[in-house]
Amino acid sequence: MTDPTLPDRRRALRLGAACLGLGVLGSSCRSPASPTVEAGDAATVPLQVVGAFPTGVPYVAAGAPSRLPFQVALADGTLLDDLPAEVTATVWRDGRQVGEPLRLRPQPDGADAPYLALETTFDLPVLHEVRMRLDDRDLSAPVAVYEAAAVVTPQVGAAMPAAATPTTEQPLTVDPICTLTPTCPLHETSLDVALGAGGPVALVVGSAEYCLDLRCGPTLATFVRTASAFPTVRSIHAEPYRNPKAVPTLIEADPTELVERLAISWEPAIFFVGRDGLIAARADAVAGEEELRGLFARIA
């Protein structure tokens, strides 16, 4: 962190804040979950499932495929770094299970603790519940599902907005255009040009230096490393802020045109676009190498 007025990124992560804002984390971003105690006379350490995805804004749209990462934490928000090799998850609505159980394998996030990525489609815009079975314990976390019209960020299946992004030749008044060290090689082509060429495109929006969450830097670095294994995909990195070095505090920085077009208030945000120009997959907040390889493969 370069700005001492911003909260410590590891503390923000430890608190389990799931709304990864372009500025400061608010208490409203925290995803509530249910602490649990083992049935019987012997109580176990209370645990909770934490949604590692934005929760302070309409995020999950009914009828659109959603990818939701979860992590497991102690009651004080400390994330667990040791999960079983497989965790069974189910989706519930109005006290009834919806669909079949899903078997999730923990994915390393590259920063602090593993996560569990759940992919499903919620058919109704009502409150749902994700339940997980972990070492004979039942954990749960709510998921707010909204009408599709209320979720303004482009969803899977929608056309990818063709906004211009800064390149090494045309920075578009964005400074810096990359905060990874060393500077990543994904700034040679603008997003609108890549989409116009008709090939598959992978876009990551995020900052290694100015993000408030410890997972941003590792996720960006993992994306860059993984992209090199998929040369048929045009991969692009875009910083979310236009002028972070020119303002006293990060909250005063201006978002880029791309951030405004995508209507994202979190980072990292990753979009995988097929040859038809439609969004084939998304991965927000945290994504490990194994999962990213699978998502790249969908469009390669």
Confirm if 233 and 201 have CB atoms less than 8 A apart: yes
Q: Identify the three-state secondary structure at position 149.
A: helix
Run of H or E including 10? helix 9-14
How many C-beta neighbours within 10 Å does residue 6 have?
A: 18
CA distances from 103 to 18, 32, 142 (A): 22, 22, 19
Instruction: Choose among 126, 114, 123, 122: nearest CA to 50.
Output: 114
The Cα 288–Cα 184 span in angstroms is 18
What is the amino acid identity at position 166? P
The Cα 140–Cα 121 span in angstroms is 18
What is the amino acid identity at position 102? L
**pTM: predicted TM-score of the whole model, two decimal places:** 0.86
Kindly give the confidence (pLDDT) of every residue in the chain, 300 residues in length, as a single tens digit, with 9 standing for 90 and above. Answer: 233 333 332 222 222 233 334 433 222 233 334 443 333 333 456 889 999 999 889 999 999 999 999 999 998 888 888 899 999 999 999 999 999 999 999 998 666 689 999 999 999 999 999 999 887 889 999 999 999 999 999 999 999 999 999 999 999 999 999 999 999 999 999 999 999 999 999 999 999 999 877 777 788 999 999 999 999 999 999 999 999 999 999 899 999 999 999 999 999 999 999 999 999 999 999 999 999 999 999 999
Q: Is the peptide bond before 268 cis (omega within 30 degrees of 0)?
A: yes
Alpha-carbon torsion 237, 238, 240, 246, what sign?
A: positive
Q: At what angle do helices 289-299 and 216-227 cross, to 10 degrees?
A: 50
Please return the burial class of 40, using the count of CB atoms within 10 Å of its CB with bins 0-12, 13-18 and 19+.
exposed
Where do the domains of the chain lie, and which CATH numbers do they carry?
9-150 (2.60.40.10), 191-299 (3.40.30.10)
Which residue is listed with tokens 């400061």?
Answer: 24
CA angle 190, 245, 169 (to 5 degrees): 25
